[in-house]
Structure 1
Amino acid sequence: MTQGTEARGTTSPFGSARKSISVDRAALVSTAPLVDGSRAVVCTPTVARLDPREWLAGSGDTLARLRDEHGAVLLRGFAPLDAEGLAEFATALTGGLRDYDNRSTPRQRVNGRVFTSTEYPPELTIPLHNEMSYTASWPGTLFLTCLIPAAEGGETPLADSAGVYDRVPGLVRERFERHGVMYVRNFGHGVDLSWQESFQTDDRAAVTAYCADHGIEAEWLGGDRLRTRQVVQATVRSRATGRWVWFNQAHLFHVSSLPEAVERELRSNFAEDDLPRNAMYGDGSPLLAEDLAQVRAAYAAEEIARLWEAGDVVVVDNEQFAHGRRPYSGARSVLVAMA
């Protein structure tokens, strides 16, 4: 990426002309902690409606360095990006976007490889998690932009994954690290995603081949039913910092993450091995309730949040920071791209 000093006088997708600026864009943005005591930062332009793509093009490795050093960067006060603009911005920083394969939540494709954020009912909380940490292959960087903030609530909280790792008691960490985490999914009950939606195909042979290529045990059970099992990591060493980070979705996949009434109903209708989704230690033994409680407490202690404003863009190192969603009311539109 080359260092530039002159912005092009082009027009953004939102109709406002990009400003022609003849100074180093690295100096056009001020940086401050996202919240007191957090490593995450917020960047604010000193020039009104500065296009983030123009700033990125002219500021060298500034944003990449901020992401690597701080883990999460909120861009606030810049010119807003639509889906196409978010894809351009994310591609310029990382070189390319990845698709959302082996899906675990419902999303809509908006433009190319830009998606809506998880489309769960607004009254539900989405627990903190690292994107696709239930797999052996995950995105390195997440990009989120807010088109419409919720009338109330709807924050996307963040949690420092190294902080979560440090807060989980040593004996609990040791159990998870020794065994890893096994994720079990049962498709075809009409509950949760279908295997067609998860794997984005109607071809059973393609699903079987995908699972074989990705270390997933796939078992066709008759009718339209499919059971998958995969054992993957509980923790990883951050590529950016070298620190160990908590990196799994055991607490989210486990049936106890659901509202109590929903968990009771599922357990009354399905055997343990037949639950639509569940998690256990990698050796197949049940997760201890006290271990899950410690993990959830660690996330809660590390959680930080700010309300969305229209046009906000958040760049997240997916290993360094977990993210989630708080309940909300009113309309809310957040787009996601993964690199």
Structure 2
Amino acid sequence: MSESSDWTPHVVTPDTAGVAADHEGLLAAIGDTEKTGELLVANKALVFRGFGTSKEQFDSALDLLLPNRLAYVHGNSPRTKVGSNVYTSTEYPAEFTISMHNELSYARRWPSRLAFYCERQPTTGGATPVVDGTLWLSSLDEEVRTAFGQGIRYTQNLHSGAGFGRSWQDTFETSDKGEVEANLADADVTWEWRADGGIRLTQLRPATVRHPVTGEEVWFNQFDQWHLAGLDAETAEMLTELLPPDELPQSVTFADGTPIPDEYVAHVRDIGLDAAVNVDWYDGDLLLIDNVAVAHGRRPYTGPRRVLVAMSG
């Protein structure tokens, strides 16, 4: 079981901010970007609720919250680009839970902030759980924390347009191999083009990092999402039957190539979800998170849930 914590995201409403209950009120509440940044560092996650921000107005809020909006290049989650570096939060089937993770934690560079916007709330479920990374780390068994001290090796096999998983064209938002190579040049990634036109990427990353402002050590990786044991049983069985281990769309081991035990996957995944606080969605809600301080996921849902996301460096 996870350790107890009183932490929860900080909720900002028109009343608590002393502003009008409309989008102009939201812009007034976040207009002092330095103050908003300090509030985010102190609280790790902020929920802005009751401002009635529309999808068309969301962009102006992003301009204040995410000053250097990033493209979702090298991302491994299925999503659709719907605006200027704005994406659907995920298109993973609604009946599945998405485990806790920090966005792009397997990459050398990751976003420092994520902003989520609820365009259409689900009928039931669909919360975005968030978990304090320090709590998640301290809640893990000592054996598991020690085992991951050597780091993690992530491997991706991106096809060229037909196959399992994502293509390199979708992943890097280009069909130009030269642009892909330029992107990878300083990404601390070992890569090779395959004879079938695909590309294999290998990255060695730590399992924990320290927050750049607070210095707190946090659990910071996505190993369970890359591990066969982290998939639903039907998908894992299908992939195992069809592909050898080194041809899987994505896979993970300890840094030295040693397999990661299945029981570690369940332990880390379940501890993270158990320690998480659910952020339930209502139309017009906006959630801003510190991508290092907290991890996020998604609960199963029914109905036409549509949550958008953007990120900044």
Query: What is the aligned partner in structure 2 of residue 206 from structure 1?
Result: 179
Query: What is the aligned partner in structure 1 of residue 71 from structure 2?
Result: 99
Residue 48 of structure 1 and its aligned partner are, at CA, apart by: 2.6
Specify which of 137, 146, 154 is matched with residue 183 of structure 1: 154
Residue 294 of structure 1 and its aligned partner are, at CA, apart by: 2.3
Residue 94 of structure 1 and its aligned partner are, at CA, apart by: 4.2
> What pairs up with 1:32-181 in 2 under 5 angstroms?
37-46=6-15, 47-49=20-22, 51-57=25-31, 59=32, 61-82=34-55, 85-178=57-150, 180-181=151-152
CA contact (8 A) 2:152 2:204 kept: yes
Distance in 1 separating the partners of 2:224 and 2:77 = 15
SS in 1 for 2:185: helix
What one-letter code is carried by the residue in structure 2 that aligns with 1:53?
L
Distance in 1 separating the partners of 2:260 and 2:140 = 15
What one-letter code is carried by the residue in structure 1 that aligns with 2:229?
S
Deviation string for 1:24-59 (max 9, x for gaps)? xxxxxxxxxxxx9224211111243253112222x5
Query: What is the aligned partner in structure 1 of residue 195 from structure 2?
Result: 222
Q: Structure 1 runs of 4+ off > 6 angstroms?
A: none
Residue 106 of structure 1 and its aligned partner are, at CA, apart by: 2.0
TM-score by length of 1: 0.84
Structure 1 or 2, whichever has the larger Rg, is: 1
Distance in 2 separating the partners of 1:60 and 1:184 = 38
Residue 193 of structure 1 and its aligned partner are, at CA, apart by: 0.6
Structure 1, unaligned stretches of length 5 or more? Answer: 1-35
Root-mean-square deviation (Å): 1.8
Deviation string for 1:92-116 (max 9, x for gaps)? 2342211111121122222211111
Distance in 1 separating the partners of 2:54 and 2:293 = 25
CA contact (8 A) 2:129 2:273 kept: no
Distance 1:65 1:92, change over 3 A: same
Residue 168 of structure 1 and its aligned partner are, at CA, apart by: 1.5
The structure, 1 or 2, with the larger RCO (C-alpha pairs under 8 Å, 6+ apart) is 2
CA contact (8 A) 1:136 1:233 kept: no
CA contact (8 A) 2:126 2:280 kept: yes
Distance in 1 separating the partners of 2:191 and 2:278 = 38
CA contact (8 A) 1:154 1:328 kept: yes
SS in 2 for 1:87: helix
CA contact (8 A) 1:148 1:333 kept: yes
Distance in 2 separating the partners of 1:329 and 1:62 = 37
Residue 145 of structure 1 and its aligned partner are, at CA, apart by: 0.8
CA contact (8 A) 1:177 1:234 kept: yes
Structure 2, unaligned stretches of length 5 or more? Answer: none
CA contact (8 A) 1:81 1:145 kept: no
Distance in 1 separating the partners of 2:274 and 2:91 = 26
SS in 1 for 2:182: helix
Residue 284 of structure 1 and its aligned partner are, at CA, apart by: 1.3
Aligned residues: 301
Distance in 2 separating the partners of 1:208 and 1:287 = 30
Deviation string for 1:258-296 (max 9, x for gaps)? 111211111111111111111111111111223223212
Specify which of 251, 265, 268 is matched with residue 292 of structure 1: 265
Distance 1:100 1:60, change over 3 A: closer
Deviation string for 1:160-185 (max 9, x for gaps)? 1111111112232122122x111111
What one-letter code is carried by the residue in structure 1 that aligns with 2:75?
R
Distance 1:94 1:265, change over 3 A: closer
CA contact (8 A) 1:69 1:241 kept: no
CA contact (8 A) 2:113 2:291 kept: yes
Query: What is the aligned partner in structure 1 of residue 276 from structure 2?
Result: 303
Distance in 2 separating the partners of 1:75 and 1:257 = 32
What one-letter code is carried by the residue in structure 1 that aligns with 2:286?
V
Distance in 1 separating the partners of 2:247 and 2:50 = 48
CA contact (8 A) 2:123 2:302 kept: yes
